[in-house]
Structures are given as structure tokens and as C-alpha cells.
Amino acid sequence: MSEPIEILLVEDNSEDAELTLRALRKNNLTNSIRHVTDGEQALEYLLQTSHRPKVVLLDLKLPKIHGLEVLQRLREKPATKSLPIVVLTSSQEDRDLARAYELGANSYVVKPVEFDAFVEAVSNLGIYWMLLNQAPES
Amino acid sequence: MNRSEHSACEEDLEALTYAISHDLRAPLRAISGFSRILVEDHADALDEEGRRVVEVIQRNVGKLNRRIVALLDLSRVGRQPLDLTDVDMLDAARRAWADITGPDTDATLSIAELPTVPGDRDLLVRLWRELLDNAVKFSDGQARVEVCGDTDDGHARFVVRDHGIGYDPQHADALFAPLQVLHDRSSDGTGIGIGLAVARRIVRRHGGQISAESLPEGVAVRFSLPLSVDVP
């Protein structure tokens, strides 16, 4: 039986996804990751699964359903109301940041451009949400 | 072009700057990441020259990234809403000076009473920081910076004067333009020329004007801000 999904990565840019997975793999955190590439797939997965991931890494500029709308819809459902969601985006726009927190994001991280900084950011996220953070039971 | 057309045009330019700099980030991240993967996963296939080539790529990713970050910063300064209040410019300038020099500095600032103006406090502190930082950076040895200000004809007028290396008056147009480096005085040769562009953007957003004059010794930067709130 495969391991339960602990991290859901919602990322449409395949290169960003590859780099993110690589950074997580360096910390042995890849066995339990699922990667989806648009907002619709993210909602489908999260609203149907019985095992809640420990964290969702959510990009904002997504095809089909925008990341902020994904966030809003997840917060409307009791099952995903308190699911840990980290926005991981290129957007440094103040209004995206403000809106993400208003809608109930647990964290907002701007993807660094330079690879060392990117690996460090993703590694820190992985370690924090997988090992340190305590989430409420679903 | 009237003022509202001018302001609409500036807004378009801000949006364009933002879109370009934002959209450049993802491909640049891929160049940085995948060239590193080349070194990490395919080290055997690379000789010394191959590794040098990758280093050149990485270094230039860093350079381009710093410019993108600077343009995004400039664009943010141009778009963030103004939070208007009465700003004591003496206090703002002193605060900025403390930010840029630190306690062990041998740079000196002479400053007298300055007028109070209506404006966004954070942005005006930032304005002083950019102007004072520029004055210190382009001084050789111990920096001496003088600041004075006065009011006349509905405007507050300020001058920041240094005794530094000055600039070639032929390049006066480039002084306040973004990404124009007339002399690179940063310690690591990575000055990117955004400070005075940020300063000009802040002054214009407050409805004021800014200019520089090359002196026999150093530079005088003058700016004026309206005393009544008439922000475009």
C-alpha cells in the first residue's frame, strides 16, 4: 500500500514543480507528496480524500480555478476549514497577500528566484509543516 | 498631456513594469535551478571549463534577479496608496540618517530646522534614505552631507548637498532614471542604480519636483513639495 499523502503540491508550472519536489526530496519528504496542476484538481482531491494532508502548497496563478478561489472554497467546507494551507507564489502583490490571509491562508511565501534560496525556503516549509507543526484533527 | 492623462499614463507604466518583472521571475528561477542541477547531477560530464560556464550563468541570474527586485520595488513605490499626514521633515531625515549610517559612522550630517509637509511618512523617510545614502556613497573618505530647507510660494524646498565625486553633467538625464549606474560604488560592484529613481517617484507622487546640480565639489540635489494637499 502506498503511503498516505502528506503534502499536496498545487503548481501548474512544471519546472517550478520539479524544483520544489527536488528540494523536498533532499529532505526525504517526497514519498508522501501528490502533485496536481490546476485549481480544479486540487479541490477535487481535497474535497474527496478521507486522509487530510499535513499541508497544501498552493500556487495562486492556476488554470481553471485561481488559487485564491480554491482557498475560499476550501474554507467554506467544514472538512477543510482548518486544513493548513501555504500559499507559495511568485506574486509579491500586497493585495494578493492581504486577500490570501483574509481568506484564511496559514502562511504566504514568495518563491525565491535564486536556487539556493529557493531550496532553503522549500526545505524550511517542508520541515516545519511535516515535523514541527501540530494540526487539528480533521 | 494634462495631469490626469499623465497620471493614467504613469499607472499604465507601473502596471507594465510590474507585469514584466513578475513574469521574468519564473523563467529565471528555472535557469538558476536547472543549471544547478546540471552541476549536482551531471558533475562527471563537466570539465573545469564546463563548471566555469555554469558559474557564469549563475552569476548572471543573480545580476538579473537583483534588477528585477529593484524594478518591482520601484513599481511598488509608485503604486502603494498614499497615507497622508503632516510629516516633520527634520524628524524624517534624522530617522533616515540613523537607518543608513549606524552608530559607528564617521559620516557627518549638518541639518537645521526643516518645514513640515503633508505626505506619506514612510515614503518620505524612504526619500531621505535614498538621497542621504546616495550622498554618503559617492563621498570619498569621510562623508560630509548638508541638508537645508525652507518654504516659499506654497512649496517646501529642500537641498541635500555632498562633497563627493560628483557626476559628469553630460549624464544629468540618466541620474534619476532606473537602472542607470554612473559610478558603481557598492562594495561588491553590484550597484544597480535604483535609489534616485525611487526618490524621483516619491517626490512626483507628492506633486513635487526634483533635480540635481553638479558642483565643483560634489552634488546638490534639490526637491520641492507642495504645502497644500493636492496629490495627483
Which residues, listed in sequence order, are joined to residue B160 by a DSSP beta bridge? B147, B221
* Predicted confidence (pLDDT) per residue in A16-47, tens digit: 999 999 999 888 877 789 999 999 999 999 99
Q: How far is B178 from chain A (nearest CA, A)?
A: 20
Cα A43 to Cα A11, A65, A136, B146, distances in angstroms: 13, 9, 20, 60
- What's this model's pTM, rounded to 2 decimal places? 0.78
- Tell if the CB–CB gap between A112 and B29 is shorter than 8 Å: yes
Set of chain B residues whose Cβ sits within 8 Å of the Cβ of A16: 26, 29-30
Set of chain A residues whose Cβ sits within 8 Å of the Cβ of B25: 90, 111, 113
- Tell if the CB–CB gap between A113 and B76 is shorter than 8 Å: no
Is residue B54 pLDDT above 60, yes or no? Answer: yes
Q: What pLDDT is recorded for position B126?
A: 95
- The grid coordinates listed for A115 are 536556487
Q: How far is A59 from chain B (nearest CA, A)?
A: 12
What is the rounded CA–CA span in Å between residue A31 and residue A24?
Answer: 10
Cα-Cα-Cα-Cα torsion A14, A16, A19, A23, nearest 10 degrees, comes to -130
B88: left (phi over 0), alpha (psi -120 to 50) or beta: beta
CB pairs under 8 A between A and B: 50
Residue A91 contacts B, CB cutoff 8 Å = yes
More confident residue, A74 or A138: A74
Confidence of residue B215 (pLDDT cuts 50, 70, 90): confident
Residue B72 contacts A, CB cutoff 8 Å = yes
* Predicted confidence (pLDDT) per residue in A99-138, tens digit: 999 999 999 999 999 999 999 999 999 999 988 998 887 5
- Tell if the CB–CB gap between A115 and B26 is shorter than 8 Å: no
What is the rounded CA–CA span in Å between residue A10 and residue A65?
Answer: 11
- Tell if the CB–CB gap between B61 and A15 is shorter than 8 Å: no
The CB density around residue A36, as the number of other CB atoms within 10 Å, is 20
Asked whether the beta carbons of B80 and B124 are under 8 A apart, the reply is: no
- Tell if the CB–CB gap between B65 and A114 is shorter than 8 Å: yes
Greatest mean pLDDT among A97-111, B32-46, B63-77, B100-114 lies in A97-111
Set of chain B residues whose Cβ sits within 8 Å of the Cβ of A18: 33
3-state secondary structure chain B: CCHHHHHHHHHHHHHHHHHHHHHHHHHHHHHHHHHHHHHHHCHHHCCHHHHHHHHHHHHHHHHHHHHHHHHHHHHHHHHCCCCEEEEEHHHHHHHHHHHHHCCCCCCEEEECCCCEEEEEHHHHHHHHHHHHHHHHHCCCCCCEEEEEEEEECCEEEEEEEECCCCCCHHHHHHCCCCCCCCCCCCCCCCCCCCHHHHHHHHHHHCCCEEEEEECCCCEEEEEEEECCCCCC
Residue A117 contacts B, CB cutoff 8 Å = no
- Out of A22, A93, A118, whose CB is closest to B29? A118
Q: What pLDDT is recorded for position A91?
A: 86
- Most B-contacting residue of A22, A113, A116 (CB-CB within 10 A), to test interface: A113
Is residue A1 pLDDT above 60, yes or no? Answer: no
What is the rounded CA–CA span in Å between residue A15 and residue B31?
Answer: 10
Stated length of chain B? 232
- Tell if the CB–CB gap between A118 and B32 is shorter than 8 Å: yes
- Tell if the CB–CB gap between B22 and A113 is shorter than 8 Å: no
